[in-house]
Amino acid sequence: MKIKTILSQYRNDFTATIICEHCNHEEKLTTGYDDNYYHTTVLPARTCSKCYKNRAGDIPRLTLETSYEKQIVLYIPRHAVDDMSKWEQGVISSKNDTYVFVRFNGNPGVAVDPSDLTIKQ
């Protein structure tokens, strides 16, 4: 995400309209902080709430270590990153040493590679 318009600023704190470099989705940023670290690290890493990509075009993925029960996730298979009709929201019900099991639409858990999942915003 990048800044489109600064809406207010007080000392280093600012609010802004930010825009996604990939899908042009706009969001209001209420937690801006005007320093080098924020502009070069925090904002480029921020993901769009529509396409889930950061500035580099990457979608942060879950791992077994960062997955936990009852986590609300979005299934974004790697072959369908740009086809939102293939995305599906679910809830992690459990995991083993390879897969996490995700309930989609209340169905029993389906084994999913955690790297096909991201945290639902």
Instruction: Find tokens 């599906």 and name the residue.
Output: 88
Half-sphere exposure of 54 (CA within 13 A, CB side): 13
* Nearest CB to Zn ion, comparing residues 52 and 101: 52
The one segment of 25-33, 59-67, 84-92, 113-121 that binds Zn ion by CB under 5 A: 25-33
Minimum separation from the CB atom of position 1 to Zn ion (A): 8
Q: Give least dist CB 21 to Zn ion, A.
A: 8
As a whole number of angstroms, the distance between CA 42 and CA 54 comes to: 10
Report the nearest approach of Zn ion to the CB of residue 8 (Å): 24
Residue 64 touches Zn ion, criterion: CB under 5 A: no
Residue 121 near residue 76, CB atoms below 8 Å = no
Q: Residue 24 or 66: which CB sits closer to Zn ion? A: 24
Could you tell me the smallest distance in angstroms from the CB atom of residue 76 to Zn ion? 13
> Nearest-CA neighbor of 8 among 26, 24, 28?
28
Please say whether the beta carbons of 83 and 75 come within 8 A.
no
Q: Per CB under 5 A, does 22 bind Zn ion?
A: yes
Q: CA-to-CA distance for 38 and 28, rounded, in angstroms?
A: 16
Binding of residue 20 to Zn ion (CB under 5 A): yes
- By the criterion CB under 5 A, which residues form the site for Zn ion? 20, 22-23, 25, 48, 50-51
